[in-house]
């Protein structure tokens, strides 16, 4: 089961948040509403392992699994081809969706794309490390006790049994496989997408330049991604250089509005770009 909501009518869009945050994180729905108010039909959703959706431990990586699910959801809803957009982890899922399922993508917009040796190594540990260690030392009962899974258990109680049904050895192997996807080696600027495949991805793309101060989503990663994609435009974001760091620090202190609270400011740029490169949407 995938939790989702569709707002508005018009050109199809999907917005994917980062981390394991849900569609209800501050800023996500507000961006979707701002796009819907401009005449777009916008999907927001909880990826598997996020929010109220089911947990799922298949696929070569967590992001690849989520990308495949998103492509299927867009087809099920009759929202293809769509403008696929997202930030941070949602940027990676958006890119993989377009690359693995080119037919569902009309356009691609990304910001805060994770990258750099430090940024990617931290992601592997963040997404997989604690769950792997818990399963190794205490089995699946220890995994479901981790704070990082509290939301998916609270909002979808059936997920508890889905965890407990996992064979610990197989779960550990999955976490190791998913963690290895973030290895900063080979020819993959973005985990799960070979640079050569990125060069062949002809979908119109908008890449927002990352802040120079952001070591989780390095500026070099955003610039290199825009250079790799053959039909990409690199633009400045509608916020200052310290946006990610400042919101992260505020969240760590239990303050602020949330990591994605500034996202509604993207709506005018996104809407104008889509109209320019894709033309007027077809009547529904």
pLDDT digits over 30-54, tens only?
Answer: 999 999 999 999 999 999 999 999 9
Q: What is the DSSP letter of 126?
A: I
Mean pLDDT, all residues of the chain = 94
* Tally of residues, the chain: 284
- 274 φ/ψ angles, rounded to the nearest 5 degrees: -60, -40
Question: pLDDT band at 252, cuts 50/70/90?
Answer: confident
Q: How far is CA 275 from CA 38, 40, 90, 260, in A?
A: 11, 11, 22, 24
What one-character DSSP code corresponds to residue 280? S
Give the mean pLDDT of 116-133.
Answer: 93
| Confidence label for 282 from pLDDT (cuts 50, 70 and 90) | low
- Centre a 10 Å sphere on the Cβ of residue 156 and count the other Cβ atoms it contains: 18
Between CA 111 and CA 206 the distance in angstroms is: 9
Neighbour order of strands in the sheet with 4-7: 4-7, 40-45, 11-16, 82-87, 105-111, 205-208, 232-235
**Coil, strand, or helix at residue 182?**
coil
Instruction: Flag whether pLDDT at 284 surpasses 60.
Output: no
Q: What is the pLDDT of residues 2-11, one digit of tens each?
A: 999 999 999 9
Query: What backbone phi and psi angles, to 5 degrees, belong to 206?
Result: -120, 120
Q: Are strands 232-235 and 205-208 parallel, antiparallel or unpaired?
A: parallel
- Taking a C-beta distance cutoff of 8 angstroms, is the pair 159, 152 a contact? yes
What is the pLDDT, as a whole number, of residue 244? Answer: 86
Q: Are strands 4-7 and 40-45 parallel, antiparallel or unpaired?
A: antiparallel
Position 196 pLDDT exceeds 90: yes
Of the pLDDT bands very low, low, confident and very high (cuts 50, 70, 90), residue 75 is very high
Could you tell me what percent of the chain has a pLDDT over 70?
A: 98
- Structure-token pair, residue 246: 């400042």
10 Å Cβ neighbour count for 29?
20
pLDDT computed for residue 247 by the predictor:
87
pLDDT score recorded for residue 53: 98
* pTM score, whole prediction: 0.95
């Amino acid at each position: 089961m995938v939790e989702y909501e569709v707002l508005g009518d018009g050109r199809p869009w999907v917005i994917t948040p980062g981390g394991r945050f849900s569609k209800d994180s501050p800023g996500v729905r507000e961006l979707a509403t701002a796009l819907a108010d401009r005449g777009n039909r916008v999907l927001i959703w909880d990826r598997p392992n996020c929010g109220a959706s089911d947990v799922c431990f298949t696929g070569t990586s967590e992001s690849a699994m989520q990308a495949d699910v998103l492509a299927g959801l867009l087809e099920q809803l009759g929202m293809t081809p769509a403008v696929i957009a997202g930030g941070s982890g949602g940027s990676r899922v958006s890119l993989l969706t377009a690359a693995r399922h080119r037919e569902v993508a009309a356009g691609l917009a990304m910001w805060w794309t994770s990258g750099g040796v430090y940024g990617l190594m931290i992601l592997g540990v963040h997404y997989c490390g604690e769950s792997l260690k818990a399963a190794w030392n205490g089995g699946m009962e220890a995994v479901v006790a981790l704070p990082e899974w509290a939301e998916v258990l609270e909002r979808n109680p059936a997920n508890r049994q889905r965890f407990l049904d996992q064979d610990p050895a197989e779960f550990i192997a999955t976490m190791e496989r998913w963690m290895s996807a973030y290895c900063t080696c080979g020819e993959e600027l973005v985990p799960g997408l070979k640079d050569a495949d990125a060069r062949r991805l002809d979908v119109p793309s908008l890449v927002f330049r990352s802040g120079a101060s952001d070591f989780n989503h390095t500026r070099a990663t955003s610039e290199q991604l825009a250079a790799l994609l053959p039909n990409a435009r690199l633009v400045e974001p509608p916020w200052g250089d310290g946006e990610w760091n400042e919101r992260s620090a505020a969240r760590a202190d239990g303050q602020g509005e949330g990591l994605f609270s500034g996202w509604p400011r993207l709506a005018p740029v996104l809407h104008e770009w889509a109209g320019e490169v894709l033309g007027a949407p077809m009547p529904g």
